[in-house]
């Protein structure tokens, strides 16, 4: 697969586009408007220029030359693999997969989702090719973190999964793990209850945000505390994943705490808005 499409050029979409272009692939990124496309291109340019300054790549301009950022899904018609990286909302994603099914002409093309929690089956069944639909879940920041979760649904063919594994491991140089098609997959099914427990601890007045995070960094050798991690993930995304997990399993540990819901309502989403549990 040499022609890669990405839908969405936010943090995750831009990261997926960047690692694909750095691997020598032809990348088209589709955004929802000319303004969003311009912002996405600026995000990619800044990241690649920083990578060049740090000696990670030889030429930012050369990598950018393999990326086109557009404002129309129709530009993805000739892609062999399209990875969706839009908002973590089931309605938005199923609508998008219906459109991709119509637009992408190659019947063997893979339609993948970077969702962190939504069951892949729900995305596959709205298309005419569920055997070519699966989850390819990257982690933020995509250029740095090596892990990718491969999530086939009950209808995904073994060939699609193996083609995706080859793309992830041999082309991008990342490490793939196999996950069942359950909300949260492997990492978030373990990580999100941990983060929610830290939010409940803060909410109850048990400890300050700084002490909760310091305790996990210095006492458990975590690279960062759970509240700082939530700010990095985005509190809106954290809440969305928690809701998907709770909807699937109905376990209290997956329920979003009231403090998290209020912060999302207030637009305090973490690093991307400049304020969450910490101010940036």
Residues assigned a catalytic role: 116, 137, 149, 188
126 touches 97 (CB < 8 A): yes
CA proximity to 276, closest of 176, 220, 195: 195
Assess whether the previous peptide bond of 141 is cis (omega < 30° from 0).
Answer: yes
List of residues 6+ apart from 82 with CB closer than 8 A: 4, 5, 6, 7, 76, 100, 104, 109, 110, 111, 112
Question: In the chain, which ranges are continuous DSSP H helix?
Answer: 11-22, 34-53, 60-64, 90-103, 120-124, 158-166, 187-203, 209-220, 226-233, 235-249, 258-265
148 touches 170 (CB < 8 A): no
111 beta partners:
82, 133
Length of the chain: 280
User: What token pair was written down for 108?
Assistant: 């063997």
C-alpha torsion 191→197→202→207, nearest 10: -100
């Amino acid at each position: 697969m040499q022609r890669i499409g990405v839908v969405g050029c936010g943090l995750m979409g831009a990261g997926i586009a960047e690692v694909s272009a750095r691997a020598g692939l032809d990348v088209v990124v589709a955004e929802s408007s000319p303004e969003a496309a311009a912002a996405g291109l600026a995000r990619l340019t800044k990241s690649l220029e920083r990578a060049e300054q740090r000696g990670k790549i030889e030429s930012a301009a050369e990598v950018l030359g393999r990326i086109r950022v557009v404002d129309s899904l129709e530009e993805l018609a000739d892609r062999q693999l399209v990875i969706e990286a839009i908002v973590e909302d089931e309605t938005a994603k199923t609508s998008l997969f219906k459109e991709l099914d119509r637009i992408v002409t190659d019947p063997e093309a893979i339609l993948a989702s970077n969702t962190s929690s939504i069951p892949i089956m729900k995305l596959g069944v709205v298309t005419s090719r569920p055997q070519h639909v699966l989850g390819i879940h990257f982690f933020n920041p995509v250029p740095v973190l090596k892990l990718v979760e491969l999530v086939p649904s009950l209808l995904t063919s073994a060939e699609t999964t193996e083609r995706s594994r080859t793309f992830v491991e041999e082309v991008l140089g990342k490490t793939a793990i196999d996950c069942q098609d359950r909300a949260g997959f492997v990492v978030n099914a373990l990580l999100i209850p941990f983060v929610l427990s830290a939010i409940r601890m803060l909410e109850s007045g048990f400890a300050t945000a700084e002490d909760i995070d310091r305790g996990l960094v210095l006492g458990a050798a975590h690279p960062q505390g759970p509240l700082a991690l939530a700010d990095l993930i985005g509190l809106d995304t954290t809440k969305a994943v928690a809701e998907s997990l709770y909807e699937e399993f109905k376990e209290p540990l997956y329920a979003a705490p009231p403090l998290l819901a209020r912060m999302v309502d207030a637009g305090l989403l973490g690093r991307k808005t400049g304020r969450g549990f910490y101010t940036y």
